Structure 1
């Protein structure tokens, strides 16, 4: 639809977009979001929600929660970012993307407000999502934080529960340069009296959450006090993860088959299950069968992509959006479970990531294809190749992701493995 493409061009060009320009698009308060929402009669007050923050795992956790509520028969909204292929991936109901017509109509209607308020791309997108969920009268919406939490545009909602997944170093220029400072920003989504779940207890950050919960009177749940992975209970295949978890309080064992097959998903699942328990206690009708069916079909129910996604078997080709230190560590741990003859890694980064911290995590014996996503924030592929060489990583530079992927496919034998990672934008262009 030509009109839809024109609308997207307007949004991408008129509004500052963090994924393209970085820090200059980040707003340090909620004023614009509040003004936009007031102009459309505060849609965020017309539906129930769950708020999800964290450095890594918040996207996967949001999709798992959406799948569970959807499977339980609830009309479920899902707001996530960034998108991989189509802008509309950010705003879904029961796995269906918002219509092109809604995006066109909303943008047209908001043009006077855009001129008056001058919002960022993300601020307008949040307002669009909330309007869509209110208009369609969703039973619940799973809302993923964009960046941080305290001053993220999504932090105007009063959710039924809050979930914070994992805290690691990312966006240090905006969120702080220590884990407690970053955790303090994420803890900003904890609201007075609203239960909060922490997926992964970390010694450096747990006190931040305990203090924030105490100050706000929010019941606090650490998922690892409620769930435990059974010894040798996690089995990995190319297509799924077999999980055996012990419900510590009930002393019951639960078996789940998860169609997101990175081992790192085990921690995310525990956080998700703790949130579901809270929602069950609050009267939401979710059965054990709903949970197990949903976890086995997260991708089909929600359309999630790019999380240890196997796109080819011979050679085994995997795409993962992991891009910061913690994300790359998880990918490298996952690699240890894979069987292959030679490893080919297609990778690129954006300039504001701590590439020097990430490069030493990569294996020295892989073949590298360094490339650059087509956006201004992307790190130059020649610069990356030189940086990598200093860490003993040998490879060639390619001007685009497609050139790099094509070269990897040409060099890989059928028993080899190709891994594509480094940023959402690298994965998006590979897809």
Structure 2
């Protein structure tokens, strides 16, 4: 019997589950996996604090350029949950989402899943239905208890770890690394991008305890300096190298061959909205970036400096539960111009006026993203928009055309 007859029925169910509701165990996911039966497609798990979304997209694009049928699960979404599940680079239509959601609910335990778990299971059913050659699963905020961690991937890629979600994962970098190291599994392979030395100690200890190899991306791949990347910013070269190293390990394990021209094509075609995305917006340049912690803000500052770019203005907002103090000096260094602080329509959002006061005298609170962009004078030609993925979501809701690559 169908639980959902329409996509609207489904979205109402997901809203009831609550986007921010978490229950950190793998019991519900393990039951779903057990009741459904083991998924047979190869799984590549991408874990980290910053860069895991870009790494996932680079890997998926490289695989697709080699002719593989790909599945990609990533989060969060900006406008529609359908953005989270893609087969061969395309979202599934609403009717298929309803069919897959009913299949999730028909599996014993499906009705007990949290928001993220529900979508993780839906993605796996989609990839099974479309008989993908590889499923690229981006973890949510953790590792050990992340819903994506129940499927025992053959390959795990570790993007850089930084301070974020401390209230959930722990107050220190080692605590966060320890949680993410829980994504390592016996009889699997793993590759890591550059990490803080404290993070690497935790990862090495975990890998040694399992008797598995943890390779560094640097030892497996190099992105030629002349290679064009679909994602802009100097930090993306490390994400691209991690994806390329992971791909080469994947084909070695699968007995396939990698072709340099297809590798280059995949790196060039990868696209993620909101990752140092430059758009022409009414005669000015907007730089949209999801940087929402000190680690990510450092990366975008370095990327802007590398291109000799100093934004004329900044639009910034962040959630109230973020550790703002380490971000403050970075924010103040990003632009000599005004900082517009819009309110966010989000239950976790802080007060825009209080945030503006903390930033300093050049910060001005405004009602929303539209008001922020509308209040910037015509002489300010380059504007950086960052601080929260939910801020970008509000922009893309108003301008969904920028969710796809522009010609």
In the superposition, the TM-score normalised over structure 2's length comes to 0.90
Report the equivalent of 1:169: 163
Report the equivalent of 1:402: 370
Aligned counterpart in structure 1 of residue 10 of structure 2, from 7, 11, 15: 7
Aligned counterpart in structure 2 of residue 244 of structure 1, from 224, 244, 249: 224
* C-alpha deviation, 1:356, in angstroms: 2.1
In the aligned structure 1, how far is the partner of 2:310 from the partner of 2:181? 44
1:137-169 Cα offsets, whole Å, 9 max, x none, are: 111110000111111001011222110010100
Report the equivalent of 2:299: 330
User: Any stretches of 5+ residues in structure 1 without a counterpart?
Assistant: 19-24, 229-242, 246-254
In the aligned structure 1, how far is the partner of 2:337 from the partner of 2:44? 41
What does 1:304-319 align with in structure 2 at a 5 Å threshold? 304-312=272-280, 314-319=283-288
**CA distance 1:116–1:84, change in 2 (3 Å):** closer
In the aligned structure 2, how far is the partner of 1:221 from the partner of 1:116? 36
3-state SS of paired residue (1:331): helix
* C-alpha deviation, 1:293, in angstroms: 0.7
Aligned: 1:424 with 2:389: yes
User: Any stretches of 5+ residues in structure 2 without a counterpart?
Assistant: 397-407
Aligned: 1:32 with 2:25: no
In the aligned structure 1, how far is the partner of 2:235 from the partner of 2:383? 19
Q: Is the 8 A contact 1:344 1:412 kept in 2?
A: no
* C-alpha deviation, 1:109, in angstroms: 4.6
3-state SS of paired residue (2:149): coil
- The alignment yields a C-alpha RMSD, in angstroms, of 2.1
What does 1:119-134 align with in structure 2 at a 5 Å threshold? 119-134=113-128
Q: Is the 8 A contact 1:72 1:285 kept in 2?
A: no
* C-alpha deviation, 1:384, in angstroms: 0.9
**CA distance 1:398–1:258, change in 2 (3 Å):** same
* C-alpha deviation, 1:342, in angstroms: 5.9
1:361-414 Cα offsets, whole Å, 9 max, x none, are: 11352211101221111112111111112xxx5121111112112223xx1426
In the aligned structure 1, how far is the partner of 2:298 from the partner of 2:172? 18
In the aligned structure 2, how far is the partner of 1:260 from the partner of 1:149? 25
In the aligned structure 2, how far is the partner of 1:281 from the partner of 1:115? 37
* C-alpha deviation, 1:193, in angstroms: 2.3
**CA distance 1:38–1:5, change in 2 (3 Å):** same
Report the equivalent of 1:232: none
* C-alpha deviation, 1:341, in angstroms: 7.5
Report the equivalent of 2:151: 157
In the aligned structure 2, how far is the partner of 1:341 from the partner of 1:170? 26
* C-alpha deviation, 1:259, in angstroms: 1.5
* C-alpha deviation, 1:55, in angstroms: 0.3
Q: Is the 8 A contact 1:312 1:318 kept in 2?
A: no
* C-alpha deviation, 1:281, in angstroms: 1.6
Q: Is the 8 A contact 1:405 1:430 kept in 2?
A: no
In the aligned structure 2, how far is the partner of 1:213 from the partner of 1:256? 32
3-state SS of paired residue (1:363): helix
* C-alpha deviation, 1:106, in angstroms: 3.0
Q: Is the 8 A contact 2:48 2:159 kept in 1?
A: yes
What does 1:91-170 align with in structure 2 at a 5 Å threshold? 91-111=85-105, 117-170=111-164
**CA distance 1:114–1:124, change in 2 (3 Å):** farther
Deviates more, 1:207-216 or 1:218-227: 218-227
**CA distance 1:226–1:349, change in 2 (3 Å):** same
Report the equivalent of 1:22: none
Q: Is the 8 A contact 2:274 2:290 kept in 1?
A: yes
Aligned counterpart in structure 2 of residue 52 of structure 1, from 37, 46, 64: 46
Aligned: 1:203 with 2:197: yes
Report the equivalent of 1:76: 70
In the aligned structure 2, how far is the partner of 1:98 from the partner of 1:384? 39
3-state SS of paired residue (1:359): helix
Aligned: 1:61 with 2:55: yes
Aligned counterpart in structure 1 of residue 318 of structure 2, from 336, 339, 349: 349
3-state SS of paired residue (1:129): helix
Aligned counterpart in structure 2 of residue 369 of structure 1, from 324, 340, 355: 340
In the aligned structure 2, how far is the partner of 1:215 from the partner of 1:332? 38
